[in-house]
Chain A
Amino acid sequence: MNITLIDENAENILHAHLVALQQGASGYGEDVTNIDYIQCRFFHIGSKPEKAELTQLLAAFEDPADCTLYLCSDGDVILRILNGTTDLKNRIVSRIAATYQKTIEVCMDVRDFFIEYDLLEGVRLLKLECLRKLKKQTKMARQLEKFFSENGLIITLRKTVQLTKMQRSFRSEPHILIVEDQIFSQKILSAILSDYTCHLAETTAEALLLYMEKCPDIVLLDIDLPDLSGHRFAEFLNKIDEDAYVVMVSANKYEKDVRFAQENQVKGFIVKPYEKDVILKAITDFKKNRKRSAA
């Protein structure tokens, strides 16, 4: 079954989207597919939809025969539609009717929609899935802890880094590895550092692979990562690369975090929220440090 949800209230669409996203869909205001229960598409249409919004909506109906269109909203909006105090429905219906000879079939409350299609049960199952994922991460952390402790591995990686890090001396500007599991924070750091070459990793396992391949000059390293603590990874980097330049980034600056950072010889500690000046100063500090070392 193909269903399209349209709403003028972004919060309702957010609510609908929440369910879809937890089922592995991505994007906001985009088509959402591959949902186990039903196939949904979500459109946020403003109360005074612009031509571009309607065009985008209508473009989704290339094959109108195979989809049922629901105007989906909360009670207040439905009431306004039924009472005729908003012409949102009419505007959309007339546009669709003119283009595809298609009518809106049902108006219903978005929350009723979820109950009718048993998506609430889906949400409950997804919560369990979240917990399973967290437990899996804990198991992975234990495995990585063991992996990072193997002397043979450290020696091998140290030799590899020795061979590859020569490329650093040919760079005019530092390359930066951002190890941060939150996409939001990744995007902010990437925006601040848009003048530099940045590599992104969400886990320490990914970060290690990128470190070996790209040989970054600076590592901006979050402390709380899904697979292993950033502190542990900083300690490991120092073992495999004596020139590792690590700057910790975190929402916490507890005493123990600062102590761990000092023990691991990290070069800086940045606390969220990420401020442009602070991040750029960390890069400037690195450049000064490198000049001093070269001299």
Chain B
Amino acid sequence: MTDLQTLDLTNLRNVTDSDAELERELFNEFIRSSNNLLENLHACLQEGGNEPWQKISHAFKGLSMNLGAKHLAELCRKSQDSWERPDSEKAELLNKIREEHIKVLQALQTEIR
């Protein structure tokens, strides 16, 4: 788990051919989508709802994988698999996801600038 990178853009850059404008567009879209998904996860935890939790975690995992946020994707995979676990475990996982998400955003900021 600790071996997984916060941000590995190798695959994405293969797709974009290092087109800076397209990359910026993709990064901004990641920021928008991931913020929404995080808030949705938080809402699920507050209001209950195992099925939405699993669905949102799955979406977050796919998004992170496509960006190259490998550690975040792994945390989301765990989150997806933990949909039937107690809320306390989910909350702990959500905190880890939040922390990793911030790291990914910080790494992205460097790329955007």
A251 and B11 contacting across the interface, CB-CB below 8 Å: no
A28-B28, A131-B43, A251-B61 as given contacts; A184 in contact with B22, CB under 8 Å: no
Q: Is A209 an interface residue (CB 8 A)?
A: no
B105 and A14 contacting across the interface, CB-CB below 8 Å: yes
Cβ-defined partner of A183 (8 Å) among B22, B29, B58: B29
Q: Is B65 an interface residue (CB 8 A)?
A: yes
B15 and A123 contacting across the interface, CB-CB below 8 Å: no
Q: What is the size, in residues, of chain B's interface with A at 8 Å between Cβ atoms?
A: 42
Q: Which residues of B contact A67 (CB under 8 A)?
A: none
B29 and A251 contacting across the interface, CB-CB below 8 Å: no
Closest 4 CB pairs of A and B: A251-B62, A127-B43, A28-B28, A273-B65
The complex places the Cα of A188 from the Cα of B64 at a distance, in Å, of 13
Q: Is B95 an interface residue (CB 8 A)?
A: no
Q: Is B93 an interface residue (CB 8 A)?
A: no
Q: Can you pick out 9 interface pairs between chain A and chain B where the beta carbons lie within 8 Å of each other?
A: A11-B106, A14-B35, A18-B39, A131-B47, A184-B30, A185-B62, A185-B63, A188-B66, A251-B65
The complex places the Cα of A10 from the Cα of B104 at a distance, in Å, of 13
B residues apposed to A, CB below 8 Å: 11-12, 14-16, 22, 25-26, 28-33, 35-36, 39-40, 42-44, 46-47, 49, 51-52, 55, 58-59, 61-63, 65-68, 102, 105-106, 109, 112-113
The complex places the Cα of A21 from the Cα of B33 at a distance, in Å, of 10
Closest Cβ–Cβ distance, residue A201 to chain B (whole Å): 16
Cβ-defined partner of A14 (8 Å) among B31, B39, B52: B31
Q: Is A140 an interface residue (CB 8 A)?
A: no
B58 and A21 contacting across the interface, CB-CB below 8 Å: no
B30 and A21 contacting across the interface, CB-CB below 8 Å: no
The complex places the Cα of A22 from the Cα of B40 at a distance, in Å, of 10
Q: Is A187 an interface residue (CB 8 A)?
A: yes
A192 and B113 contacting across the interface, CB-CB below 8 Å: no
A21-B35, A275-B14 as given contacts; A128 in contact with B43, CB under 8 Å: yes
Q: Is A114 an interface residue (CB 8 A)?
A: no
Closest Cβ–Cβ distance, residue B90 to chain A (whole Å): 15
Q: What is the size, in residues, of chain A's interface with B at 8 Å between Cβ atoms?
A: 36
Q: Which residues of A contact B49 (CB under 8 A)?
A: 131, 134
The complex places the Cα of A11 from the Cα of B110 at a distance, in Å, of 11
Closest Cβ–Cβ distance, residue B45 to chain A (whole Å): 10
Q: Is A252 an interface residue (CB 8 A)?
A: yes
B29 and A184 contacting across the interface, CB-CB below 8 Å: yes
Residue of B nearest to A223 (CB): B58
Q: Which residues of A contact B11 (CB under 8 A)?
A: 273, 275
Q: Is A224 an interface residue (CB 8 A)?
A: yes
Closest Cβ–Cβ distance, residue A257 to chain B (whole Å): 11
Q: Which residues of B contact A138 (CB under 8 A)?
A: 51
Q: Is A84 an interface residue (CB 8 A)?
A: no
The complex places the Cα of A250 from the Cα of B65 at a distance, in Å, of 11
A11 and B40 contacting across the interface, CB-CB below 8 Å: no
Cβ-defined partner of B42 (8 Å) among A11, A127, A188: A127
The complex places the Cα of A132 from the Cα of B63 at a distance, in Å, of 23
For residues 106 through 136 of chain A, which have their beta carbon under 8 Å from a beta carbon of chain B? 123, 126-128, 130-131, 134
Q: Which residues of A contact B63 (CB under 8 A)?
A: 182, 184-185
Q: Which residues of B contact A22 (CB under 8 A)?
A: 35-36, 39
The complex places the Cα of A221 from the Cα of B109 at a distance, in Å, of 32
The complex places the Cα of A211 from the Cα of B14 at a distance, in Å, of 30
Q: Which residues of B contact A275 (CB under 8 A)?
A: 11, 14-15
Cβ-defined partner of B35 (8 Å) among A18, A224, A252: A18
A274 and B66 contacting across the interface, CB-CB below 8 Å: yes
Residue of B nearest to A123 (CB): B39
A130 and B29 contacting across the interface, CB-CB below 8 Å: no
